[in-house]
Amino acid sequence: MDAQTPYARLKTRFARLTHLEDAAGMLHWDLSTVMPEGGAEARAAQLATLKTVSHDLLTAPEVGDLLDAADADEAPALDGWDRANLSAMRRQWRHATALSTALVEAHSRACSACEMAWRGARAADDFAAVRDRLATVLDLTREIAAAKAEALGRSPYDALLDEYEPGGSEAEIAPLFDDLAAELPAILDDALAAQAADPASALPPGPFPADKQRALARRLMERIGFDFRHGRLDESLHPFCGGVPDDVRLTTRYDEADFTSALMGVLHETGHALYERGLPAAWRDQPVGRALGMSVHESQSLLMEMQACRSRAFLTFAAPLMAEAFGARPGDPGWDAETLYRRNTRVEPGLIRVDADEVTYPAHVILRFRLERALLSGDLALDDLPGAWRDGMRDLLGVTVPDDRTGCLQDIHWYDGAIGYFPTYTLGAMTAAQLFAAAVAAVPSIPDDLARGDFAPLLGWLRTQVHGLGQSVTAREMLERATGRPLDAAVFTAHLRRRYVERVG
Amino acid sequence: MDAQTPYARLKTRFARLTHLEDAAGMLHWDLSTVMPEGGAEARAAQLATLKTVSHDLLTAPEVGDLLDAADADEAPALDGWDRANLSAMRRQWRHATALSTALVEAHSRACSACEMAWRGARAADDFAAVRDRLATVLDLTREIAAAKAEALGRSPYDALLDEYEPGGSEAEIAPLFDDLAAELPAILDDALAAQAADPASALPPGPFPADKQRALARRLMERIGFDFRHGRLDESLHPFCGGVPDDVRLTTRYDEADFTSALMGVLHETGHALYERGLPAAWRDQPVGRALGMSVHESQSLLMEMQACRSRAFLTFAAPLMAEAFGARPGDPGWDAETLYRRNTRVEPGLIRVDADEVTYPAHVILRFRLERALLSGDLALDDLPGAWRDGMRDLLGVTVPDDRTGCLQDIHWYDGAIGYFPTYTLGAMTAAQLFAAAVAAVPSIPDDLARGDFAPLLGWLRTQVHGLGQSVTAREMLERATGRPLDAAVFTAHLRRRYVERVG
Whole-number Cα distances in Å, B145 to A271, A339, B58, B154: 53, 74, 20, 9
> Is A52's CB within 8 Å of B16's CB?
yes
pLDDT at A1: 44
Mean per-residue pLDDT over chain A, rounded: 96
| A332-360 pLDDT, tens digit each | 888 999 999 999 999 999 999 999 999 99
| B4-56 pLDDT, tens digit each | 999 999 999 999 999 999 999 999 999 999 999 999 999 999 999 999 999 99
SS3 string of A347-366?
A: CCCCCCHHHCCCCCHHHHHH
Yes or no: say if A96 and A125 are a contact pair by the CB < 8 Å rule. Answer: no
Please give the share of chain B, as a percent, with pLDDT higher than 70.
Answer: 100
Q: Catalytic residue numbers of B? A: 269
Amino acid at A287: P
The pLDDT confidence band at residue B205, using thresholds 50, 70 and 90, is: confident
Binding-site entries of A: 268, 272, 298
Instruction: From chain A, pick out residues whose CB is under 8 angstroms from the CB of B34.
Output: 34, 232
Tell me the angle at which helices B128-152 and B80-97 cross, rounded to the nearest 10 degrees. 130
Which conformational region is residue A484 in: left (phi greater than 0), alpha (psi within -120 to 50 degrees), or beta? left
Yes or no: say if A268 and A233 are a contact pair by the CB < 8 Å rule. Answer: no
Closest approach of B13 to chain A, Cα-based (Å): 10
Instruction: From chain B, pick out residues whose CB is under 8 angstroms from the CB of A37.
Output: 229
Whole-number Cα distances in Å, B224 to A38, A190, B236, B260, B268: 18, 66, 22, 17, 11
Report the DSSP beta bridge partners of residue B235.
Answer: B252
Answer whether B58 touches A (CB < 8 Å).
no
Instruction: From chain A, pick out residues whose CB is under 8 angstroms from the CB of B284.
Output: 42
Yes or no: say if A402 and A344 are a contact pair by the CB < 8 Å rule. Answer: no
Question: What is the CA B284 to chain-centroid distance, rounded?
Answer: 21
Average pLDDT (B482-499) is 97
Neighbours of A149 (CB within 10 A): 18
B402: three-class secondary structure by DSSP = coil
Average pLDDT (B150-169) is 96
Give yes or no for residue B386 having a pLDDT over 70: yes
Which conformational region is residue A125 in: left (phi greater than 0), alpha (psi within -120 to 50 degrees), or beta? left
Q: Number of CB pairs < 8 Å for A and B?
A: 114
φ/ψ of residue A150, rounded to 5: -70, -45
Average pLDDT (A71-100) is 96
Average pLDDT (B205-231) is 97
Q: DSSP letter at A242?
A: E
Amino acid at B153: G
Residue B230 labelled as part of a binding site: no
| B66-125 pLDDT, tens digit each | 999 999 999 999 999 999 999 999 999 999 999 998 999 999 999 999 999 999 999 999
Cis peptide bond upstream of B207, omega within 30? yes
Closest approach of A115 to chain B, Cα-based (Å): 24
pLDDT at B76: 93
Mean per-residue pLDDT over chain B, rounded: 96
> Is B23's CB within 8 Å of A27's CB?
yes
Give yes or no for residue B2 having a pLDDT over 60: no
Residue B272 labelled as part of a binding site: yes
The pLDDT confidence band at residue A331, using thresholds 50, 70 and 90, is: confident
- List the single residue in A42, A48, A247 with the smallest CB-CB distance to B244: A42
Closest approach of B31 to chain A, Cα-based (Å): 11
Chain A's closest residue to B243, CA to CA, is A39
| B285-294 pLDDT, tens digit each | 999 999 999 9
pLDDT at A426: 98
Interface confidence (ipTM) of the complex: 0.95
User: A217 or A333: whose pLDDT is higher?
Assistant: A217
Q: DSSP letter at B150?
A: H
The pLDDT confidence band at residue A252, using thresholds 50, 70 and 90, is: very high
Neighbours of B28 (CB within 10 A): 17
Largest CA distance in chain A: 74
A498: three-class secondary structure by DSSP = helix
Yes or no: say if B491 and B307 are a contact pair by the CB < 8 Å rule. Answer: no
The pLDDT confidence band at residue B1, using thresholds 50, 70 and 90, is: very low
| A5-60 pLDDT, tens digit each | 999 999 999 999 999 999 999 999 999 999 999 999 999 999 999 999 999 999 99
Helical spans, DSSP H, in A326-422? 337-344, 361-377, 385-397
Question: What is the CA B231 to chain-centroid distance, rounded?
Answer: 19
Please give the share of chain A, as a percent, with pLDDT higher than 70.
Answer: 100
Yes or no: say if B423 and B290 are a contact pair by the CB < 8 Å rule. Answer: no
Yes or no: say if B290 and B470 are a contact pair by the CB < 8 Å rule. Answer: yes
